Structure formats: structure tokens, C-alpha cells
Structure 1
Amino acid sequence: MRFRHRAAAGFATLLLPFAGLVGLASPAEAATSATATYAKTQDWGSGFEGKWTVKNTGTTALSSWTVEWDFPSGTKVTSAWDATVTNSGDHWTAKNVGWNGTLAPGASVSFGFNGSGAGSPSGCKLNGGSCDGSSVPGDNAPSAPGTPSASGVTDTSVKLSWSAATDDKGIKNYDVLRDGATVATVTGTSYTDTGLSKGTDYSYTVRARDTGDQTGPASGAVKVRTTGNTEEPPPTGDKVKLGYFTEWGVYGRNYHVKNLVTSGSAAKITHINYAFGNVKNGQCVVDDTYAAYDKAYTADQSVSGTADTWDQPLRGNFNQLRQLKAKYPHIKVLYSFGGWTYSGGFGQAAQNPAAFAKSCKQVVEDPRWADVFDGIDIDWEYPNACGLTCDSSGPAALKNLTQALRSEFGQNYLVTAAITADGSNGGKIDAADYGGASQYLDWYNVMTYDYFGAFNAQGPTAPHSPLTSYSGIPQAGFNSADAIARLKSKGVPSAKLLLGIGFYGRGWTGVTQSAPGGTATGAAPGTYEAGIEDYKVLKNTCPANGTIAGTAYAHCGNNWWSYDTPSTIAGKMSWAKNQGLGGAFFWEFSGDTTNGELVTAINNGLK
């Protein structure tokens, strides 16, 4: 399958200079004293690695921290981790990320960066005071306001009210956050949010800011559903259950939209990503026009049971999806652009995000099928890193692209992205501003599969979709738990993360060892591509006989395969719920059995 996703394996991250990375943490609550110390940990002549360590030497907790310093001209930070680093000329500022801002008395935390030039930092400041701990300001951050209450809910608005926060020097104002993004800053303790979509779920929190511009913790969340929805809620619970439908599957795979009905899968999902539109000359375009909107279906092949006619304005997959939505009105369909093969066009798109977004809106909202699609998904493999080719658009490119898409499509459309699951230090997640981009997206499809496979022909054999790390894993950070944790550390809300499941296995041949870690001679034979096979085939030809790291593997003859089963999917869904994730997605429908047993496992596991 020439468009197969490959999430993280096999490529080093491309680290590029940056000067304007945004997403600043809140100003700090200071302890009685704290220190910041610097060390150069590596020097390779043309560059170096530096590390700052912040330690709370006082007796009260530190809720956040900011380290500032100056570099001499010609010395600069080129990439950073575990802090948000920005600069104004030669003055550099590092602020904690969401997970490492709080330091108990005596605790310390470090962040690092790669740099160029030969200079050393000077003029260090910690939270505006001395880095030696002698003059750290002592103002306390405000408390959390009370959980908002909602009233006056209409199709497009809601009134929120909350009890005041407290602070030793007074409250200046409050930020109102909708689904994790600030929508207003007010001085009072109420706000009416307008311009909402009818029949839509929203989550609101509030946080206070004191007269010293310190921001306190967020309040509890209140969920609001606007009125005016004419549909019944989906029968699938409140989690997203999304599957990819491949445009080319109607050919050799003989898999059509009607298969979603006959398998029972349509009743158990919430969303479909139609894959893939292409990205050419910086613009969205339909790829296979015949499969998309021209292929004629007979009555027995059609979702509606009615044959297409030669003169009807829309046929093909798009018309079948229209019929599916009529039969299952809870399903939302997104048009996905990019993928492994078509990601090369995103670099040009990133040079003019507004033009790209406009072109995508024109495709998605073409009058012939405007009612079919409820949103857009971009599958860029990978921004500012290497996939089929290497991209050098810079760490801010993804955020700029998603911001333009949200601006063009507005709040009534879903805007999502399929992203890398490389949880390693300095890996692909660190190469782009996934935290900053998430504010414009409804969710990320985190491609937690294809970590290991016969693209490393001699092995070692390893599960391609491990949930957790394990002793002997070939690459640290190449597992679902590390990827999700790293994205959370970048500020991505848990509810905006979907766990990825592969409906296929990856395998080697020439393997004598049953346990993972064996050597191989190459890729195991596959129906469509060596080293890859559908679950529906593997469950019979090479049944799973072992599990590791939350997924399954099988050794049969001299072949070794890893893949997910209904049992391992159940475990992964339980983990996803415990992590507060927004749900799960899978690649792709045609790998499942004719009765949709993997989709059933996802649905049951997320109820």
C-alpha cells in the first residue's frame, strides 16, 4: 500500500534554528529562594549542548519559573527541550512547560538546548531576580477560581459565572478558556460566550491573574452542550472512534463504503477520515477523481440499494459517504490530505498558509459534495523532520498551517491532524510546535504504530505498536505511552489526543527466535506489500502466541509478526480512558474482519 502511514521509525530528527517560538508559560510564583545554574554538557566544535538547572532552595513551593540570560553576538540557541525558549536579539528567555513548572522545596529540574557559537551566558535572572537565590521576588500566584456554572444556554451562546479567586495583592482579571483555549479576558466573575455552534459540546475553565501579572491554576471544568441539535447523540459514548477509509481500497482490496454497513462497523464509529487528498503546488487537490466522485455503483453495491445513473451529478465514494451519513446521521466525515506519499507538498504549503487553507476549503466545500464533509484532517509526515523526504519548514510551520486552516474553516468545521508518535528525546515531536498548534485543532491522531518493522530487514524483531516500553526495546521513546506523555508535556490537552491502532501486522522472515529481539533475513511475505499483512489474514495464517508491552506477536515457521488483537485493543482502550484521551483511531477499515471485530473491540473498550 503506497500510502501506508509510517509514524516514527528510522529517521533522525532535523533540528533547525528558531527565533520566535511562542506558547509562553505563566509568570512565576516565587519561593523564598531559588537558584539557576548553567553547564555546557557537550561541545563538538561547530556547536554545543547546554543545560540549565533550576533548584528550589526555599521553604515554599515554586509554581513556575523563568530563566533569562544574554549570549554574546554570534551565539544562539538552535533547538531546546523541556522548556519554551524565545529570544529578543541576544537576550534569551526560557519558561517552564506545563509538566515541570512546580517545584517542591529542595526539588530541581533541568532543561537543555543545542547551540551554535562559542559564547557563554551572562546576566542570568530567575523569575526576575538573582540566579544565586539571594533576591527572588516573593509574590504568590492567585488561587484557582471556583468551577464555573452555566446558564442561559442557547443555540449559539452560554453565560458563565464563577466565584472569585484570592490573592495576597489583589486580582487583576480572569481568562476564560473554552476547550483549553483562551476566548476572553474579563475583570468580573461572569462572561457570556457567543458565536457557538448549535448542538455542540464545549468545556470551560477559568484562571485568575493578579496585579503582578502572575497567572494561577485553572478552575474545575464545566461541560456545556448548546441547544438546537436535531440529531440523537451518537450511540457510541463520548469518545471519538475514528477510522480511515482509503480512496484506493475500492480497487484491488474491493473494499467499499457499503462494507462499513455489512460489517456492523458504521454503528460503532463516530468519525471517518477519507484518505487521501493530495497537496500539490502548495494547494489541496482531489487525488483519484474517478474513485472519489465518478465511479458508478450498482444497486447491490450501494449503501442505499439504488443504482447510480450515468447523468447524476455525484457518484463514487463521495456519494456513497453521503448515503452512509443519511443512514447513520451521527457519523462525521473528514477529508484527509497528505499521508506518507503526499506529504512532500506541505513544505510549499507552509510558505503561504492562508493560500493553502483557502484551496483546501474550496475542495472540501465543492458544491457537488459540500454536505459530505464535516471537516479536514492534515497528515503531514513530518513537519520540520524526515519522512519519505526531509522537511525544513521550521518548528513554527505546523502551528502556522493549523492556525490558517482554523481561520479559513471557522469553528463549525472539525480541523484535525495526524502526527508523529516519536516520543524520544530530541525526536520528531520535539521538532515542531505541537503544543502551539493544538489550540487550533479539535484533536491529534497520534500514529502510535509502525515503530519497528522489516524496513530494518535484519531486525531485531519488535512489536510495531507497543503500548509501553519494555526491556530490550530497540529505541527508547518508540512506544505509545512515551509519545502521549511527551505531547502532554508540550501542553497538548489529553482530550485532544487519540490513540492510534493498526489493523495490520508487520513481520520478518528468517526468524528462529519466538520472543522479540530475534534476528531476521528480510521482510515476511505480504498480500500487497512485503512485511505488512492485514489482521483479517494474520489471525488465521499466523495466530498470536505471545504478548509484550500491551500488544501481540506471533512466530510461525520462520516468520515473525506483531499486531493487535481484540484482547490487546481492549487493554489499550482501557489505558486510553485512564489517560483521559479523547478516544482512538485506526488505520484502516479494510484490514478488519468481515464482521468488524477490531472496530467492535475499540467501541466496547471506549464505552
Structure 2
Amino acid sequence: MPRPHGIRRPHALLASAAAAATLLATALAAAPATADTPDDDTAAGKRVVGYFTNWGVYERNYHVKNIETSGSAAKLTHINYAFGNVTGGKCAIGDAYADYDKAYDAAGSVDGKADTWDDGALRGNFNQLRKLKKLHPGLKVVWSFGGWTWSGGFGEAAKNPAAFAESCYGLVKDPRWADVFDGIDIDWEYPNACGLTCDTSGRTAFRDVMAALRAKFGGKNLVTAAITADASAGGKIDAVDYAGAARYVDWYNPMTYDYFGAWEAKGPTAPHSPLSSYNGIPKAGFNTDATITKLTSLGIPSSKLLLGLGFYGRGWTGVTQSAPGGTATGPAKGTYEAGFEDYKVLKSKCPANGTVGGTAYAKCGNDWWSYDTPSTIAGKMAYKNRQNLGGTFFWELSGDTANGELIKAIN
């Protein structure tokens, strides 16, 4: 999924291998299997999980208050707060200013009350999320760690999972904001495979990390993970024991988007989030149905899998063919990133005029974009219900329209 720019910090020295093994064995033995909570808002099938990015308060000018004014807060069961960093084998703050120091005036605050400068007073996104939860008592907030930019730290963390879990618990449950967070989400891109960097921690490392987190966070806190959607033979799903780790998580968020994009500068053009395969799709196993089918075939309960949506499009330029499969010369221009644009911009800038594989695409001028619309999301919701999936999640809130057009299409 799209990620912020981040600064890496040097890793700390590890505890001894023997101590790590002992701590991990304890965590594996103690970690309970999980069960769906009985609350209607979090029961399997009804989850609606949206990512909120801490860097969105800058150039994007998207704040926690916008979650309320767009109507999104009333639709959400969970917010994934992205991202905390992973460095030195520990969980760490991602952006201290945005997270808990930025002062909001009355107009920018969720409840119309300005932040104070009292010693020890919580400010920033964390305080705004606290206020949002008071307006929506059933809403839960989960702190996500890692992401594309900061996944390089997980290899170090995996060498001593129990110490990593201890650090994460201490940070998530810091007394200053313990009431804000209801658990932890791990966005490791990708265990035992390559993302921005390559990881060689081994097939069981992810399972061991999730077991340690469950042992430390216990059964009353959520433990979730965003995972690869690469269902190709010998691909990223095959590199990890996701089935073995499943008993320690409340659910997985398979990232069923970004299958295709202008990192393949010359194309072929293809939708970044196809629901199903289609004639001419560039790579087998790169579609939502293939991902869900593969994960459930491993024995992962469908109730522990959420269907992933992108509230954005990916596009190419230099395209002459309207139908998918055309050649290109590079990424189309985007507001914040080449080849990437929010739905709220694309819906009027380049309106969808075709569908393929259960998602939408559009050609305008020399540019070709693919993205989900309320109509294609409705089709994906029907699929979610047929497959008895645990709910829906999406990246990310600021890509939607000011009145929450996409989230309102989620059932």
C-alpha cells in the first residue's frame, strides 16, 4: 500500500539468541487462540476498518475531524492509525508532532474545543481520536506499525519476538494515550521476501512475532496484520506460515490492491485492484479472488480475512488503447505521487468508463487509470458476503470524497 517517506534509525544490540529462544517459547506456549468478539460492531462480517495516516495532516490537510464531518466515523468499526516505526528491534513513535503534540484550535477539533498547553496534556491526532471515540463509543482504534517504508526493522524485531512485543505493548499502552488504542496491527512488507528491502528472517518468523504479540497483549486487545495478496505460485504468501500465525490474530488484512501499476512503466495497463481474473491479466494469482482462495485453502478461516479496497487509482500515461493491456510510456501525473491519485480527484478528472475484473478503469487523453467506484465496491461487497469474509478494510480515509462516497458503498 502507499507509504510515507521515513527516516531509518540504527538498530540496537540484540539480546542473546538463547534468551530470545526462551522468551519465544514462553510466548508460543502462552498465546491463546482468538475468537470473534460478541459486539455487533466488531463481529465477523461486519467489520469496516479504515486507515488514517499521521502524515495526512500535512500536505493532504486531512484530520481526524474529517472522519467525523464526512460521515465516515458512523460507518467505521475500526480505525488503523498508520504508522508507528519499527527500529532497533522495538516499536517506536512514527511522528511525535502529528501523533501527540500538534495543537488543534476549536475549529479544527472534533468536539469544537481547542487543545490546551497544560503540562502533560495530550494533543495531536491521539487526542482527536480520543474525542472521536467519545462521540462513537463502539469505535475502536488500532495502532499500525511498519508499512512499506518502515518494514525494514521487522527482521531485527523477529530475532527477539518477546522483547519486541514488550516494547510495543509499552508504547501502545503508554499511560498518556492508553485509552486511545484497542490493540496493535502489524504491516510487515514482507516477511521472508522483498518489499522496499529484502527480509531473510525465515518462514516461521512472522508466526513467532504474532504469537509473542498475542501473549503480551492478551485476549482483550486486538492483534491484527496487513499481509501480502500475492497468490502466485511460489510468491509472497508461500514464503510465510500465515496459516500457523492465524490462530494468534483477530484478523488479517490481505492487501488486495496494488497488484499492477506504473512501476511497470511501459505497461501493460491493468487494474490495480481486480476482484477476479480476466482474459489478458498480466500475472496469474494477482487478483482478490485468487488471494482469498489461496489463504482459505491453507486453512485460514474466512471470518479472519477482510476484503481490501483502495480509495485511490493507479495510472499510466502515453497510452493509446482504451481497453486494458495497452502499452505506456510511464506513470501518469498525480497530485502527490506519479502514477497515483485519490478517488476524490479521479471521479471528476478522469471518470470511469469501463470495467474489467470487477473494478473500473478510464482513459482520458493519453492517461489510463483504474480505481474502484461505489458501483464496483457494491460488487466486491457481494463477493465478501458470498465468501463469508470478516469484513472490509481500505487504504485510506483521505482518498474518499468529502461526503464519504466510497465508505458509504461498503455494507
TM-score by structure 2 length?
Answer: 0.91
The answer to whether the 8 A contact 2:36-2:44 is kept is no
Aligned partner of 1:291 in structure 2 is 98
Aligned partner of 1:259 in structure 2 is 66
TM-superposed CA distance for 1:304, in Å, is 1.1
Identity %: 70
Q: String of CA shifts for 1:172-209, please: whole Å, max 9, x gaps.
A: xxxxxxxxx997xxxxxxxxxxxx9xxx955xxxxxxx
Cα distance in structure 1, aligned partners of 2:271 and 2:44: 30
User: Compared with structure 1, are the counterparts of its residues 536 and 413 closer, same or farther at alpha carbon in structure 2 (3 Å cutoff)?
Assistant: same
Does residue 584 in structure 1 map to residue 386 in structure 2?
A: no
Aligned partner of 1:341 in structure 2 is 149
Cα distance in structure 2, aligned partners of 1:537 and 1:408: 42
The answer to whether the 8 A contact 1:235-1:268 is kept is no
Aligned partner of 2:82 in structure 1 is 275
SS at 2:378 equivalent:
helix
1:100-111 maps to which residues of 2 (within 5 A)? none
1:130-279 maps to which residues of 2 (within 5 A)? 225=38, 233-234=40-41, 239-279=46-86
The answer to whether the 8 A contact 2:344-2:400 is kept is yes
TM-superposed CA distance for 1:236, in Å, is 10
- The structure richer in helix per residue is 2
Cα distance in structure 1, aligned partners of 2:42 and 2:212: 33
Q: String of CA shifts for 1:278-299, please: whole Å, max 9, x gaps.
A: 0001100011100000000000
- The structure richer in strand per residue is 1
Aligned partner of 2:350 in structure 1 is 542
User: Compared with structure 1, are the counterparts of its residues 352 and 293 closer, same or farther at alpha carbon in structure 2 (3 Å cutoff)?
Assistant: same
Does residue 596 in structure 1 map to residue 398 in structure 2?
A: no
The answer to whether the 8 A contact 1:284-1:359 is kept is yes
Cα distance in structure 1, aligned partners of 2:323 and 2:138: 43
Does residue 304 in structure 1 map to residue 116 in structure 2?
A: no
The answer to whether the 8 A contact 1:278-1:286 is kept is yes
2:364 to 556, 563, 566: 556
The answer to whether the 8 A contact 1:236-1:268 is kept is no
The answer to whether the 8 A contact 1:2-1:341 is kept is no
Cα distance in structure 2, aligned partners of 1:3 and 1:349: 20
Cα distance in structure 2, aligned partners of 1:487 and 1:293: 37
Cα distance in structure 2, aligned partners of 1:234 and 1:492: 22
Cα distance in structure 1, aligned partners of 2:392 and 2:137: 20
Q: Which runs of 5+ in 1 are unaligned?
A: 6-180, 184-195, 203-224
Does residue 515 in structure 1 map to residue 307 in structure 2?
A: no
Cα distance in structure 2, aligned partners of 1:415 and 1:482: 25
TM-superposed CA distance for 1:238, in Å, is 5.1
Aligned partner of 2:268 in structure 1 is 460
2:232 to 406, 415, 424: 424
User: Compared with structure 1, are the counterparts of its residues 268 and 2 closer, same or farther at alpha carbon in structure 2 (3 Å cutoff)?
Assistant: closer
Aligned partner of 2:181 in structure 1 is 373
1:560-575 maps to which residues of 2 (within 5 A)? 560-575=368-383
2:299 to 482, 487, 491: 491
Q: String of CA shifts for 1:116-158, please: whole Å, max 9, x gaps.
A: xxxxxxxxxxxxxxxxxxxxxxxxxxxxxxxxxxxxxxxxxxx
Moved over 3 A (4+): 233-238
Does residue 443 in structure 1 map to residue 251 in structure 2?
A: yes
User: Compared with structure 1, are the counterparts of its residues 244 and 2 closer, same or farther at alpha carbon in structure 2 (3 Å cutoff)?
Assistant: closer
Cα distance in structure 2, aligned partners of 1:472 and 1:4: 32
2:134 to 326, 339, 343: 326
Q: Which amino acid aligns with 1:250?
A: V
2:210 to 402, 408, 422: 402
SS at 1:487 equivalent:
helix
Q: Which has the higher contact order (CA 8 A, sep 6+)?
A: 2
Q: Which amino acid aligns with 2:193?
A: A
TM-superposed CA distance for 1:325, in Å, is 0.2
Cα distance in structure 2, aligned partners of 1:434 and 1:266: 31
SS at 1:300 equivalent:
coil
User: Compared with structure 1, are the counterparts of its residues 332 and 593 closer, same or farther at alpha carbon in structure 2 (3 Å cutoff)?
Assistant: same
Aligned partner of 2:3 in structure 1 is 3
Aligned partner of 1:142 in structure 2 is none
User: Compared with structure 1, are the counterparts of its residues 392 and 457 closer, same or farther at alpha carbon in structure 2 (3 Å cutoff)?
Assistant: same
SS at 2:232 equivalent:
coil
User: Compared with structure 1, are the counterparts of its residues 549 and 351 closer, same or farther at alpha carbon in structure 2 (3 Å cutoff)?
Assistant: same
Q: String of CA shifts for 1:452-481, please: whole Å, max 9, x gaps.
A: 000000000000000001110100000000
Cα distance in structure 2, aligned partners of 1:427 and 1:201: 29
SS at 1:277 equivalent:
strand
Aligned partner of 2:194 in structure 1 is 386
Number of residue equivalences: 385
Q: Which amino acid aligns with 1:247?
A: N
Cα distance in structure 2, aligned partners of 1:280 and 1:358: 14
TM-superposed CA distance for 1:516, in Å, is 0.1
Cα distance in structure 2, aligned partners of 1:341 and 1:2: 9
TM-superposed CA distance for 1:332, in Å, is 0.4
Cα distance in structure 2, aligned partners of 1:431 and 1:397: 11
Q: Which has the larger radius of gyration?
A: 1
Cα distance in structure 1, aligned partners of 2:399 and 2:370: 14
SS at 2:145 equivalent:
strand
User: Compared with structure 1, are the counterparts of its residues 339 and 324 closer, same or farther at alpha carbon in structure 2 (3 Å cutoff)?
Assistant: same
TM-superposed CA distance for 1:491, in Å, is 1.2
TM-superposed CA distance for 1:234, in Å, is 3.7
The answer to whether the 8 A contact 2:56-2:398 is kept is yes
Q: String of CA shifts for 1:486-517, please: whole Å, max 9, x gaps.
A: 11111110000001100000000000000000
TM-score by structure 1 length?
Answer: 0.62
Q: Which runs of 5+ in 2 are unaligned?
A: 6-30
The answer to whether the 8 A contact 2:45-2:388 is kept is no
TM-superposed CA distance for 1:239, in Å, is 1.1
Cα distance in structure 1, aligned partners of 2:115 and 2:214: 35
Q: String of CA shifts for 1:368-391, please: whole Å, max 9, x gaps.
A: 000000000000000001111111
Q: Which amino acid aligns with 2:220?
A: N
The answer to whether the 8 A contact 1:243-1:269 is kept is yes
Q: String of CA shifts for 1:25-50, please: whole Å, max 9, x gaps.
A: xxxxxxxxxxxxxxxxxxxxxxxxxx
User: Compared with structure 1, are the counterparts of its residues 495 and 4 closer, same or farther at alpha carbon in structure 2 (3 Å cutoff)?
Assistant: farther
Cα distance in structure 1, aligned partners of 2:42 and 2:244: 33
Q: Which amino acid aligns with 2:288?
A: S
Cα distance in structure 1, aligned partners of 2:309 and 2:406: 9
SS at 2:52 equivalent:
strand
SS at 1:581 equivalent:
coil
Aligned partner of 1:471 in structure 2 is 279
TM-superposed CA distance for 1:4, in Å, is 6.1
